[in-house]
């Protein structure tokens, strides 16, 4: 099947405005007749629920945390992009559009990325009006800083806690609508199935994580804003509760999963210290504004203290390899460069899987107090974890799984191939291509939630009879029985290995074979081992406790069961894409100096996979990508 993204035609500068005018509207009185389910209350979900509630729709929002403000968006640190051009350094909507397309290695839709760049400026105005405490310069104007993949300063920030502050803004807007009564919040509920009636999404099945009860909820439309799937690698920068479950359940009900192999490895994380860890800690990419990445030039110097290594014996490898962008090279390039140094046995710290991020030059230039004003909480966090003072000695960092560019396939209206199912934020595939530029995740989440879905969902609802399908439909009971059946099965196995042991084993398979560097051999090996591990899981997992109570073992077991299925699709997609692009690096496809080599003739498309069963080959559908406004070119940051 050749997929149609339903992108508007004509001049791209007018595309979003024209599209909004051409779409049908729901009048204010009729909005009250429709019920919309929003799963996830992070930036995308929280903004969507608040905006739709403000418009007058009946909204029910769901989160597995005890509070909407605990969504993982709170962990984002560095900033949010917008083309305001306040520093007058040459930025524009077109430049943000260009940088994002190039940063994604020409594997994203032009129309979606243009819209993202266009509404970015509205996001900043919205958040300032909400009281988000963005950093300001001495005169009181909003301050910006640089991020990887851009040569302008377009990233607005709130020290190293930008995600937290933006989420609190969306959370306050959401809670206002809850108080008014347009939004009903269901906390401590985890979506475990999508209910599809006659090919249309009409509801969800959730588990009450406090009582264990399986519940049905109907809606005239369903919005998934459930984040990414990077915990498929076990160790990642994501919260431990982040999973693929909601999107994977939708995929098993017919929603296409697009570009699952596009995963991002973040270059700036605290290195792993041992097998005892359950997650990794992100250090914001913004630190590379003032920190310089280096390793010793000589292997024998790796055991020395950083201060004892003379300047001439240090290899500032990003500045050497990418002089135009230096330490602000994009994440995929910076991550591979760090791995390259460590593979050359010039890594530092325990296990030699680390590189230095050194702030001494910046401290000498602007003073320690200025660095503390910009990043103080990040330095405090680093010291709490490592017991090292990064003002006095360099930080040690190493790449770690961080963000998923792949996700459910959607058209320009953010609707999946299943009518009535909309997907926002990291849960969809639409704007980042094969690599996300730093500070663009927060931008996408808020763009989708505040400015895109309130316009596009109305166009769909106009053709829907409100309340035509409710929870008494037979498909809802069928879904409840299936979900309850899986819970009962997990409890009945009573094997000898814990859920965490299986997750750790899966993560090792994925990281070693489907991580930063992939090959035909490693991918085929993973495709052999994953089904074996999945079969063992269903025969030998041990889930303790009962189903009629708070039981995190049941929650984790269900999530790992989904990862064991989804991981095979991710690996299959990586094997099928015989090119290197962005975060997808196939060792067979690289230039003489180790850079990614695309194959535009054969792979300039979105790969959208249709689930056919765990023991059956998924079916590949393609959406061709056209570049009418930016010329396809070799991606270079040198």
Q: Which residues contact 418 (CB under 8 A, 6 or more apart)?
A: 194, 196, 199, 200, 201, 250, 253, 254, 255
CB 474: neighbour CB atoms within 10 A? 8
Q: Are strands 221-224 and 421-423 parallel, antiparallel or unpaired?
A: parallel
Q: Give per-residue pLDDT as tens, 274-304.
A: 788 889 999 999 999 999 999 999 999 999 9
Evaluated on CA atoms 493, 498, 499, 505, the torsion sign reads negative
Give, in degrees to the nearest 5, the angle at Cα 361 between 360 and 363. Answer: 60
Distance CA 150, CA 326 (A): 11
Q: How many CA atoms lie within 13 A of 395 on its CB side?
A: 30
Question: 516: buried, middle or exposed (CB in 10 Å: 19+, 13-18, 0-12)?
Answer: middle
Distance CA 221, CA 457 (A): 8
End-to-end Cα spacing for the chain: 39
In contact, 69 and 167? CB cutoff 8 Å? yes
DSSP designation for 449:
I
Distance CA 255, CA 203 (A): 14
In contact, 106 and 636? CB cutoff 8 Å? no
In contact, 511 and 401? CB cutoff 8 Å? yes
Concatenating the DSSP letter of every residue in 117-152 gives HHHHHHHHHHHHHHT----B-TTSPBPEE--TT-SS
Give pLDDT, residue 175. 98
Can you list the pairs that 544-550 forms with residues at least 24 positions away whose Cβ atoms lie under 8 Å? 546/212, 546/491, 547/212, 547/487, 547/488, 547/491, 548/211, 548/212, 548/213, 549/211, 549/212, 550/209, 550/210, 550/212
| Of 154, 331, 374, 436, catalytic | 331
Q: Are strands 58-63 and 183-187 parallel, antiparallel or unpaired?
A: parallel
Q: What token pair was written down for 547?
A: 């189903």
Matching residue, tokens 């959730």:
206
Distance CA 216, CA 222 (A): 13
Distance CA 304, CA 281 (A): 25
Distance CA 15, CA 1 (A): 26
User: Is residue 598 annotated as part of the catalytic site, yes or no?
Assistant: no
Distances (CA, A) of 583 to 74, 96, 433: 24, 20, 9
- SS3 (DSSP) at 195: strand
Give pLDDT, residue 277. 87
Distance CA 607, CA 602 (A): 12
- SS3 (DSSP) at 302: coil
In Å, the largest CA–CA distance within the chain is: 74
Q: What domains are defined for the chain?
A: 270-399 (3.90.700.10), 474-604 (1.20.58.100)
Report H helices in 183-330. Answer: 245-252, 317-321
What stretches in the chain show pLDDT beneath 50?
A: none
Q: What token pair was written down for 56?
A: 């007058």
Q: Give per-residue pLDDT as tens, 318-371.
A: 999 999 999 999 999 999 999 999 999 999 998 899 999 999 999 999 999 999
Beta-sheet strand order (sheet of 314-315):
263-269, 395-404, 355-358, 292-296, 314-315
In contact, 396 and 65? CB cutoff 8 Å? no
Closest C-alpha among 549, 605, 291 to residue 434:
605
Classify residue 113 as left (phi > 0), alpha (psi -120 to 50) or beta: alpha
């Amino acid at each position: 099947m050749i997929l149609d993204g339903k992108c508007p035609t004509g001049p791209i500068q007018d595309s979003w405005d024209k599209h909004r005018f051409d779409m049908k509207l729901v009048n204010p009185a009729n909005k009250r007749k429709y019920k919309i389910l929003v799963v996830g209350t992070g930036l995308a979900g929280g903004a969507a629920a608040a905006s739709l509630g403000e418009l007058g729709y009946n909204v029910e929002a769901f989160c597995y945390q005890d509070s909407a403000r605990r969504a993982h968006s709170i962990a984002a640190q560095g900033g949010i992009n917008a083309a305001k051009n306040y520093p007058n350094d040459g930025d524009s909507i077109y430049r943000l559009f260009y940088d994002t397309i190039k940063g994604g290695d020409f594997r994203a839709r032009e129309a979606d990325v243009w819209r993202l760049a266009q509404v970015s400026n509205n996001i900043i105005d919205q958040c300032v009006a909400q009281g988000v405490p963005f950093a300001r310069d001495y005169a009181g104007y909003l301050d910006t800083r640089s991020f990887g993949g851009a040569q302008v300063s377009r990233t607005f920030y709130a020290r190293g806690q930008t995600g937290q502050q933006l989420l609190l803004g969306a959370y306050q807007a959401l809670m206002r609508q809850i108080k008014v009564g347009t939004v009903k919040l269901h906390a401590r509920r985890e979506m475990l199935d999508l209910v599809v009636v006659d090919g249309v999404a009409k509801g969800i099945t959730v588990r009450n994580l406090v009582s264990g009860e399986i519940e049905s909820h109907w809606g005239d439309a369903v919005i998934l804003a459930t984040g990414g799937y990077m915990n498929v690698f076990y160790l990642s920068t994501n919260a431990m509760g982040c999973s693929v479950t909601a999107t994977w359940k939708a995929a098993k009900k017919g929603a296409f999963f697009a570009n699952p192999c596009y995963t991002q490895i973040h270059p700036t994380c605290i290195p792993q210290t041992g097998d005892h860890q359950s997650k990794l800690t992100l250090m914001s990419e913004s630190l590379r504004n003032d920190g310089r990445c280096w390793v010793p030039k000589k292997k024998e110097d790796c055991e020395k203290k950083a201060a004892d290594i003379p300047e001439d014996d240090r290899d500032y490898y990003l500045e050497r390899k990418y002089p135009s962008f230096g330490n602000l090279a994009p994440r995929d390039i910076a991550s591979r460069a760090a791995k390259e140094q460590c593979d050359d046995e010039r890594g530092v710290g325990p296990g030699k899987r680390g590189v230095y991020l050194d702030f001494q030059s910046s401290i000498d230039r602007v003073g320690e107090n200025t660095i503390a004003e910009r990043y103080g909480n990040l330095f405090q966090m680093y010291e709490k974890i490592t017991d090292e003072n990064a003002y006095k000695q360099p930080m040690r960092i190493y790449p770690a799984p961080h963000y998923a560019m792949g996700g459910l396939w959607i058209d320009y209206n953010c609707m999946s191939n299943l009518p009535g199912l909309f997907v926002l934020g990291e849960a969809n595939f639409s704007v980042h291509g094969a690599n996300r530029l730093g500070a663009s995740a927060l931008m996408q989440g808020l763009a989708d939630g505040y400015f895109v879905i309130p316009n596009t969902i109305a166009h769909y609802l106009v053709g829907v009879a409100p309340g035509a399908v409710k929870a008494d439909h037979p498909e809802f009971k069928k879904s409840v029985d299936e979900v309850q059946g899986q819970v009962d099965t997990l409890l009945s196995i009573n094997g000898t290995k814990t859920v965490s042991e299986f997750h750790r084993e899966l993560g090792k398979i994925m990281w070693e074979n489907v991580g930063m560097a992939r090959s035909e051999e490693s991918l085929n090996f993973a495709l052999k081992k994953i089904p074996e591990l999945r079969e063992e899981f269903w025969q030998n997992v041990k889930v303790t406790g009962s189903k009629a109570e708070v039981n995190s073992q049941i929650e984790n077991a269900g999530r790992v069961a989904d990862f064991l299925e989804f991981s095979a699709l991710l690996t299959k997609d990586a094997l099928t894409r015989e090119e290197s692009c962005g975060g997808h690096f196939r060792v067979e496809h690289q230039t003489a100096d180790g850079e990614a080599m695309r194959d535009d003739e054969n792979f300039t498309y979105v790969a959208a996979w249709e689930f056919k069963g765990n023991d059956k080959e998924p079916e590949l559908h393609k959406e061709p990508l056209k570049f009418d406004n930016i010329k396809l070119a070799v991606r270079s940051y040198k």
